[in-house]
Amino acid sequence: MDNKILCQKEVECLREDDLRYVAQTTPFGKSLVFVRSQGCMLWDAEGKSYLDFISGIAVNNVGHTHPEVVQAICDQAQRMLHATVFGKAVIPPQVELARRLAQLTPHGLETIFFTNSGTEAIEGAIKLARRATGRHGIVAFEGAFHGRTCGALSISWREVYRKPFEPLLPGVTFVPFNDLEAARRAVTDAVGMVIVEPIQGEGGVHVPSDDFLPGLRQLCDARGAFLVLDEIQTGFGRTGRFFACEHWGVVPDILVVAKAIGGGMPLGGFISRPEVMRLLTDPPLAHMTTFGGHPVSCAAGLASLNIILRERLVARADQLGVHIQERLRQMQRKYAVIKDVRGKGLMIGLEFASAEETKRIVQRAQELGLILSWSIYSGGTVRIAPPLVITEDEVQRGLALLEQAIQSA
């Protein structure tokens, strides 16, 4: 397929209209105009290619525009677009994806409520935990990111994002991530929900000690609280297990998913035991969505899931992650600006000496044709999360570009 190359005037017009008509969330403007993607590659309006080392922020686990996912989208679009996704109608792609997921989720978590996004799935999980426990207190963790709607923002850590929109949900307590003793003090009889990312993403790719998640599970069992795991970023093979909680053998009460579940289409969900999910029928339609579980998104999600399993991408993520971390540690020994390398599978954090250094390196990498990003809450940490289908040649090229960016920035 030919790249769509635009003239300079067309590109500038797009930039101007974006600033005028599309809501901006930063004061910086946008530097790239992407027109095509395939596999691990992106192309801008001027025909320049970029190697994607962040997968659209952990979305494109099977790569960009995978032919099988595209075909599933086209086939479903020809059969049926939107009908009604909740209420009285059975939607076959929903059932097929839900059935397949139930074979892969931790034991007992068989029933999913589909949403459009991870943030919506978090909102549903909050409601379900309240409904099941009868308690409104929530324990969340410093460094946590769960979304930007009012409920999700209430349990996301950084005050600079929360403060302008207060008052938010009451009864939220933040404790240090990976501090089991602090969690024990915080989980009182008023707490109905402990929510945690198995590996923190926007907080800077932090992996907990081996006793942390099992300890939270025991604590929730003892206190009658629900353990909610936010696997929006860590799920679907990203960390070298299908779900990151499998690294520690922990089964949550509610599992929250999104990002990679849709194969590039908007899709999310919260998953729990059937008897817990049945609480959403009392009162009838206790939780609802218009587009969540859209037939086209579910068809894309099923195609993506089949690719992940057939191509053994979970094991591939585990193996490539070990190799990439080894290479990054070799760089760390060469460059004092690299302070730490951490992560699991293809969810890796590369911490630099300062946020300023990080910004320069990310910008220089972009100029060289490598897409990286830093973590929202950790400006000094670059996140490396390429598609799970990335080839060894692409890995080597990406790491070489990264080293070149470090040297020249």
pLDDT in tens, 43-55: 999 999 999 999 9
The reply to whether the predicted model has a pTM over 0.85 is yes
pLDDT at 2 over 60: no
Task: Specify whether the CB–CB gap between 264 and 59 falls below 8 A.
Answer: yes
CA contacts within 13 A on the Cβ side of 77: 9
- Return the pLDDT at 84: 79
The pLDDT tens digits of the residues spanning 14-37 come to 888 888 899 998 887 788 999 999
Query: What domains does the chain contain, in order, with CATH numbers?
Result: 8-62+313-408 (3.90.1150.10), 67-310 (3.40.640.10)
Question: Please, which pLDDT band fits residue 293 given cuts at 50, 70 and 90?
Answer: very high
Dist CA 267 CA 398 (whole Å): 29
pLDDT at 1 over 70: no
The pLDDT tens digits of the residues spanning 57-75 come to 999 999 999 999 999 999 9
- Mean pLDDT, residues 346-365: 95
Dist CA 193 CA 187 (whole Å): 9
The overall longest dimension of the chain from CA atoms, in Å, is 64
The pLDDT tens digits of the residues spanning 163-209 come to 999 999 999 999 999 999 999 999 999 999 999 999 999 999 999 99
**What's the DSSP call for residue 163?**
G
Q: Is the peptide bond before 274 cis (omega within 30 degrees of 0)?
A: no
pLDDT averaged over the chain? 95
- Return the pLDDT at 85: 63
**DSSP secondary structure, 225-275, as one string:** PEEEEE-TTTTTTTTSSSSGGGGTT---SEEEE-GGGGBTB--EEEEE-HH
- Return the pLDDT at 272: 98
Dist CA 253 CA 123 (whole Å): 15
